[in-house]
Amino acid sequence: MSSDHYDILIVGAGVAGSALAHALSAITSKSRGSPIRVALVERSLSEPDRIVGELLQPGGVEALQKLGMQAALEGIDAISENGYCVVQAGRIVHIPYPDGRQGRSFHHGQFVMGLRAHAKRAPGVDVIEATVNELIECQHSRRVLGVRATRTSTSGDGTKGEKESFFADLVIIADGCFSNFRSSVMGKSARQSSTRSYFVGAILKDVRLPIPQHGTVALIKGHGPVLLYQVSEHDTRMLVDVKHPLPSDLKGHILTNIVPQLPASLHVAVHEALENDRLRRMPNSFLPPVEQVGKYTKEGVFLLGDAWNMRHPLTGGGMTVALNDVVILSQLLAEIDNFTNWDQMSDLLSRWHWARKPLSSTVNILSVALYDLFGADDECLVVLQNGCFKYFECGGDCVRGPVSLLAGIAPSPSLLAYHFFYVAFYSIWIMFTDPRPVNNAVNGEKPVLEAPPIWDYPYLCLKSVKVFWTACTVFGPLLWTEIRWW
């Protein structure tokens, strides 16, 4: 069976796909003088249930406003977020967003349903519930002409109907981190995603975080960080980073190794959540972007969102990058009248790739670099982690700069490099100057603190070189994945 022909067909009605469908509805075809026709195809239009994608940074809120979709944050019990709180061994540092900026936290599924509602109301957009099975390609040119999909039965019994063919001038794949079409679209130019850890999620009931309406990052000695942020009036999401490979007893691991290092006010709620809630996990994957033009990529189709580019979810920047991508892409697509002209589309994809770089590369690099520091697992990374915490304690620009990068409102890789290596040098300075215990305090005695003696300096100089080299090995490869163009 063959349905109507569309100008653009989007596979996946998540954050990126739904936002793009709504944005494209404002584009008028120059040749017809009417809005372009868009098909938004999603396997299931029921509310998704995920443990990530629940924090939208201030930069993402601004992108949502540019798209005219800010109402998607209303009526879902979303919580205003004013910044971060980092907790380490009983110490707390406050990291507020600058200039009164605010993010939002919420249940992911409710937010996505709000975005889909906007897409359904948009003129020229058909939202279709169907499972895309394959791409339709021209037998001669191998150009993608559309998709074959199986609709969900309208009887509501969950059965599948017949396969249908949906044709379009342009197909955009936005089917998320577990994309079924990433390899077939990118061909030999595709890069492999890497997974170093998992987030294990649970919901805590009616807890008070150390600083209300702030995301909390708890640094756990010997393990990955723990994130906590309120997602509704009574619910607080807890995400525990567990490194690969996963332990066989996740609950036991969390109770034994993680809970004792969390603020005491959370212990009862965590025990109740582990006893009553189903622990769920999500891989923390990193996939650097590859420019989607070249001899290996297919014509007539390209990737969007997590299907193309993923970063560690520690910084909560994924949706901000996706919405910013939609803002830029929709503006560029408005300049194109013929989506079948692949020369024009190739130029557009190249322009889009580099136009998104200031924000996407900043968030991508920061997410993995910050995870390496917060999940420190060797001596030099521990030094950098301690220096990072003390850097935040300095306040002023030592907080404003990094949190502006984190919030997605300062898209500047150069500013990120400045603060990252400032932290590295500050960490080295701390090694030489920071007082440390020189006796084993017993029976409640206060430990004696002294700065390192001068005879320790040769060893510290050698260690400084190792610390700086570690910083370079963390930042350098990440920067390389963003600036390479082949």
> For the domain that residue 220 is a member of, what is the CATH number?
3.30.70
Helical axes 413-433 vs 397-406, angle rounded to 10°: 140
Q: What is the pLDDT of residue 31?
A: 59
Same domain, 20 and 56: yes
Strand partners, 471: none
- Confidence category of residue 2, pLDDT binned at 50, 70, 90: very low
Distance between CA atoms of 306 and 17, rounded to whole angstroms? 11
How far, in whole angstroms, is CA 111 from its chain's centroid?
Answer: 15
Query: For 241-266, what is the mean pLDDT?
Result: 93
Residue 70 lies inside a defined structural domain of this protein: yes
Task: Indicate the number of domains in the chain.
Answer: 3
* pLDDT > 90 fraction of the chain, expressed in percent and rounded: 81
Q: What CATH number should be reported for the domain holding residue 324? A: 3.50.50.60
Does a structural domain hold residue 158? Answer: yes
pLDDT at site 152: 77
Asked if residue 98 belongs to a domain, the reply is no
If you average pLDDT over residues 42-68, what whole number do you get?
Answer: 96
pLDDT at 190: 85
Separation of CA 43 from chain center: 22
- Encode pLDDT of 262-300 as tens digits: 999 999 999 999 998 889 999 999 999 999 987 778 999
DSSP 330-352: HHHHTT-S-TT-HHHHHHHHHHH
- pLDDT of 384: 95
446 and 399, same structural domain? Answer: yes
pLDDT tens for each residue of 444-453: 667 777 888 8
Tell me the mean pLDDT in the region 398-417. 96
Rounded Cα distance, 326 and 207, in Å: 36
Q: Is residue 84 part of a domain?
A: no
As a whole number, the mean pLDDT across the chain is 92
CA distances from 474 to 193, 194, 283, 293, 373 (A): 17, 15, 21, 29, 9
Q: In this structure, are strands 79-81 and 194-205 parallel, antiparallel, or unpaired?
A: unpaired
- Please check whether residues 311 and 398 belong to one and the same domain: no
Lowest average pLDDT, out of 119-133, 151-165, 184-198, 305-319, goes to 151-165
Please tell me the predicted confidence (pLDDT) of residue 412. Answer: 95
Residue 179 lies in a domain: yes
Last residue of a domain, one of 257, 285, 313: 285
Helix (H, G, I), strand (E, B) or coil at 286: strand
Same domain for 258 and 298? Answer: no
203 in the same domain as 172? no
Instruction: Clarify whether residues 347 and 385 are in a common domain.
Output: no
**Whether 153 and 203 share a structural domain:** no
What pLDDT score was predicted for residue 58?
Answer: 98
Sheet of strand 215-219: strand arrangement: 91-96, 83-88, 215-219, 226-230, 235-243, 194-205, 280-286
Does pLDDT of 486 surpass 90?
Answer: no
Confidence of residue 1 (pLDDT cuts 50, 70, 90): very low
Do 293 and 277 fall within a single domain? no
Q: How far is CA 49 from the centre of its chain?
A: 17
Q: Is the pLDDT at 30 greater than 70, yes or no?
A: no
- Within this chain, do residues 136 and 169 fall inside the same structural domain, yes or no? yes
* 212: in domain: yes
Which token pair is 16? 């990126």
Mean pLDDT of 297-304: 94
- Flag the least confident range among 158-162, 238-242, 371-375: 158-162
Task: Decide which of 234 and 163 is more confident.
Answer: 234
Find the mean pLDDT for residues 235-244.
95
Same domain for 351 and 391? Answer: no
Domain boundary among 270, 285, 300: 285
Does residue 91 sit within a domain? no
In this predicted structure, the answer to whether residue 4 has a pLDDT above a threshold of 80 is: no
**What pLDDT digit, counting tens, does each position of 191-214 carry?**
888 998 999 999 999 999 999 999
Pair (401, 313) in one structural domain: no
3-state SS, one letter per residue, for 361-414: HHHHHHHHHHHHHHCCCCHHHHHHHHHHHHHHHCCCHHHHHHHHHHCCCCCCHH
Q: Which domain holds residue 479?
A: 367-484
Tell whether 311 is covered by a domain: yes
pLDDT digits (tens, 9 = 90+) for 133-167: 999 999 888 899 999 999 876 655 556 678 899 99
pLDDT at residue 32 in the model: 59
Of 180, 192, 147, 189, nearest to 297 by C-alpha is 189
Same domain for 447 and 331? no
Q: 28-37, 177-186, 396-405: lowest mean pLDDT where?
A: 28-37
Of 357, 384, 409, which residue sits at a domain end?
Answer: 357
How distant, in Å, are the alpha carbons of 88, 352, 376, 481 from that of 291? 40, 9, 32, 11
Does the model's pTM come out above 0.85? yes
Angle 464-469-475 from CA coordinates, rounded to 5°: 130
Give the tens place of pLDDT for each residue, 329-369: 999 999 998 899 999 999 999 999 999 999 999 999 999 99
